[in-house]
Amino acid sequence: MSYIRLNKHYIHLPYLFLGITEAALLALAALWSHHFANGVEDLPRSWTQIVIFSIVLSCCTLSMGVYLALVREGFGSMVLRTLVSFFLLGSLSLFLIGVIFGEALIPQTLIFWGVLIATALVVVTRFIFLKVVDTKQLKRRVVIYGAGSKAKKLLDDLAPEIAVLGVTIVGCIPSDNESILVDQQLIIGEPQDWLGFVKREQISEIVISPDERRRSSGNAFPLGQFLDCKLAGIDSTDALSFCERELGRIDINLLHPSWMLFSDGFKYSKRMLIAKRLFDLALASLFFLVLWPFMLLTAIAVRLDSPGPVLYHQTRTGLNGKPFRIYKFRSMRQDAEKNGAVWAKKNDSRVTRVGAFIRNTRLDELPQLYNVIAGSMSFVGPRPERPEFVSELAKQLPFYETRHKVKPGLMGWAQLKYPYGASVEDAKNKLQYDLYYTKNHSFLMDLLIMIQTVEIVLLGKGVH
């Protein structure tokens, strides 16, 4: 077995080994840079530098999606993202830490030599990894029990991401009296001995997705055989949970209210809410102290560019549907909504010259630090929508109001996973990611979203 299961997620051992190896290499790069500058003197202080150096560059790697690029875009894209994450983000972050806490903690020699050595070591290691490890062989082999509309919907959902997912769909096994709607090349006859079949085909998981739970003719649903497979270590999963785990979203076409009640997730605790609030206050205060010069310059630019107020405010729907006032730097003409609220769109003619720049750089969102400090927003959560749109979307999209069970945020899971959209269909797709966050959100997930949002800001993804 080339993977381990952590909670409900699968981690491939070679990738885990790669991550551990790279962490060790980052530490080694920091140690070598210290040796170049100081010889063997003052080693105790160097351990603090090593830990900070390794954590910062690891976070920068995640923020630029380097590991995903290694699989999705190839070696060249990975190298480019590594250079940006190490030389730009990493060096800048280490420099700011040195400025704030003193150069004795993060000396300039560590930034120069450490980043240079780390880049060389990491790129060479990933090149060797791609040459030695057959990534296709690492994928878990999955069979779908079902070949009707539900199975087809599952395959359609997986198709755009199948190249980067850790699974290979071996085929679909139709149940009796089920219309076959999937590709005939995927059809596998139902085995008489399921346990023998999964062992012979090296199946690691069975996804249960028939259109009918019980069959009107022949034998009943093969529960006994599935239990034998489960006892032998072969997981069985329903289509909705499989889609949630692999794609990071909840398919509302497969969603039933009972699943939301009985599945794991949608759990909150007073301790977790207090901890998140304290984290929001501390981080928002720190960002305000660091970014106030940029906010001042932005305000001046907006004021000089076009007539009208510097700040723009709107009513948005917040926690449990409670309305609140959100603040932004004005990026559109003053009369942009003289005819009422409308969806923003690509190349919107209402956007001013300065407005286009501050939208691309997300500077227009900085006043929302006040919303975070005031408690109407969090750093991470579903992006708040306008009540005019919420009332319409709630009529057209089931479970839409569930996204309001958590506090809205400056950044969100949907913004990472889905490009900018301004239609009901786009709202439906984003809702699936918002539901995933509402169900599974945690402190670690919030940190991951904040780190990966750096790539969105730097590359200008999802901006209109």
pLDDT in tens, 111-155: 888 899 999 999 999 888 888 877 666 778 999 999 999 999 999
Choose the weakest-confidence range: 56-70, 301-315, 316-330.
56-70
Instruction: Give me the mean pLDDT over the 163-174 stretch.
Output: 87
Residue with tokens 């077995």: 1
**In this structure, is residue 147 part of a structural domain?**
yes
Is the pLDDT at 71 greater than 70? The verdict is no
Residue 338: is it exposed, middle or buried by C-beta count within 10 angstroms (0-12/13-18/19+)?
A: exposed
Answer yes or no: is pLDDT of 265 > 50.
yes
HSE-CB of 100 using CA atoms within 13 angstroms: 9
426, 69, 64, 250: CA torsion to nearest 10: 30
373, 403 in Cβ contact below 8 A?
Answer: no
Same domain? 151 vs 218: yes
Q: What is the pLDDT of residue 464?
A: 45
pLDDT band at 73 (very low <50, low <70, confident <90, very high): low
Contact 379, 435 (CB under 8 A): no
- Answer for the pair 419, 433: CB distance below 8 angstroms, yes or no: no
Same domain, 155 and 231: yes
Structural domain count, the chain: 3
pLDDT at 462 > cutoff 80: no
Mean pLDDT over residues 394-414, rounded? 93
What number is the average pLDDT over the span 176-204? 91
The rounded distance, in Å, linking the Cα atoms of 109 and 36 is 8
Nearest residue to 198 (alpha-carbon basis) of 240, 228, 237, 241: 228
Is residue 460 classed as helix, strand or coil in its secondary structure?
coil
252: in domain: no
Residue 360 scores a pLDDT above 70:
yes
Q: State which of 135, 164, 198 marks the end of a domain.
A: 135
| Residue 17 pLDDT > 90 | no
Per the domain annotation, does 316 fall within a domain? yes
Compute the average pLDDT of residues 156-174: 87
Pairing type for strands 205-208 and 140-145 reads: parallel
Mean pLDDT of 333-347: 63
- C-alpha angle 241/245/248, rounded to 5°? 115
In a domain, 259, yes or no: no
Both 321 and 407 in one domain: the answer is: yes
Residues 198 and 111 in one domain: no
Q: What is the mean pLDDT of residues 81-95?
A: 86
Q: Which of 32-41, 75-84, 428-437 has the highest mean pLDDT?
A: 428-437
How large is the average pLDDT for residues 8-24? 76
**pLDDT band, very low/low/confident/very high, at 217 (cuts 50, 70, 90):** very low
Same domain, 61 and 14: yes
- Does the pLDDT of residue 56 top 80, yes or no? yes
Q: What is the mean pLDDT of residues 160-173?
A: 86
% pLDDT > 70, the chain: 84
At 336 the pLDDT is 62
* Residue at 50 is within a domain: yes
The predicted model gives 241-248 an average pLDDT of 90
pTM of the full structure: 0.79
Q: What is the mean pLDDT of the chain?
A: 84
Domain assignment present for residue 205? The answer is: yes
Q: Which long-range contacts (CB under 8 A, 24 or more apart) does 167-171 make?
A: 167/139, 167/140, 167/141, 167/142, 167/205, 167/246, 168/136, 168/139, 168/140, 168/141, 168/142, 169/142, 169/143, 169/144, 170/141, 170/142, 170/143, 170/201, 170/203, 171/143, 171/144
pLDDT given for residue 206 in this prediction: 95
Overall average pLDDT of the 374-381 stretch: 95
Helix, strand or coil, per DSSP, at residue 351 = strand
Instruction: For residues 130 and 205, state if they share a domain.
Output: no
Is there a single domain that holds both residue 228 and residue 288?
no
Question: Is 322 found in the same domain as 289?
Answer: yes
**Same domain assignment for residues 101 and 11:** yes
Which residues constitute the domain of residue 64?
A: 3-135
pLDDT the model gives residue 218:
46
Across the range 87-97, mean pLDDT stands at 87
- Poorest-pLDDT segment among 21-25, 194-198, 262-266, 457-461: 457-461
Q: Please indicate, yes or no, whether residues 438 and 379 belong to a single structural domain of this protein.
A: yes
Residues 222, 174 share a domain? yes
pLDDT given for residue 47 in this prediction: 80
Q: Shortest CA distance to 164 belongs to which of 248, 69, 251, 85?
A: 69
Say if 219 falls within a structural domain.
yes
Confidence class for position 70, pLDDT limits 50, 70, 90? low
Distance of CA 217 to the CA centre of its chain: 44
The domain boundary, picked from 203, 232, 247, lies at 247
**58, 59, 60, 66 alpha-carbon torsion, rounded to 10°:** 70
The domain that holds 144 is classified in CATH as 3.40.50.720
Q: Are residues 230 and 361 in the same domain?
A: no
In a domain, 253, yes or no: no
